[in-house]
Amino acid sequence: MTDLDAATFEGVAFLGNTLAPFFLQDPRTGSAEAEFAAVAALDVQAAGAEWPFVGEEEAARCLGMMVEGLAPSCAAGENGAFAADDDLTWEYRRLFIGPGAKPAPPWGSVYTDRECVVFGATTLELRAWMREHGVARTADEKTPEDHIGLMLALMAWLAQNQPTDLGEFLSLRF
């Protein structure tokens, strides 16, 4: 991927840094209020025109759904500030936290590991790849490296700091 231009790497980093907090942070108890508020306040047409790797119309449509989904949370806060409403919090926890079965487990190993387990062989393969490429773990020891939020953050970090490793990372199957 070293033959790509700087704008491509900037776009990859932007996407990873923009989307990672939404998977890593509980809307109510996490530390991503500023990120949620920023998306909620988007001018979807203007943002869609600047969004990388997808057409303007598709980007605006998808960003519009995000803004619409965050509107009740902004209405719940004082002076339009972000305050996660019950529906947003419930949906985040239902999808990614539990209790009970998660319809969208955030760990790659659940989908790619032969035994469909968290911290399975594919997580260990990713951990080994990170070690081989000098990538330090940034999360607590309880969160598997193959969590979608961490993978997005890693993608962004690689684009900014080790762009020669980005293509290999994106082609891995974990």
The mean of the pLDDT values for the chain is 91
Range 143-148, long-range pairs (CB < 8 A, 24+ positions): 144/107, 144/109, 144/118, 144/119, 146/107, 146/108, 146/109, 146/122, 146/174, 147/23, 147/24, 147/106, 147/107, 147/108, 148/23, 148/106, 148/107, 148/108
Domains of the chain, CATH where assigned: 27-96 (no CATH), 99-174 (1.10.3480.10)
Burial of 124 (0-12, 13-18, 19+ CB in 10 A): middle
121-161 pLDDT per residue, tens: 999 999 999 999 999 987 778 889 999 999 999 999 999 99
Q: What is the SS3 assignment for 124?
A: helix
32-59 pLDDT per residue, tens: 999 999 999 999 999 999 999 999 999 9
74-112 pLDDT per residue, tens: 887 787 678 899 999 999 999 999 888 899 999 999 998
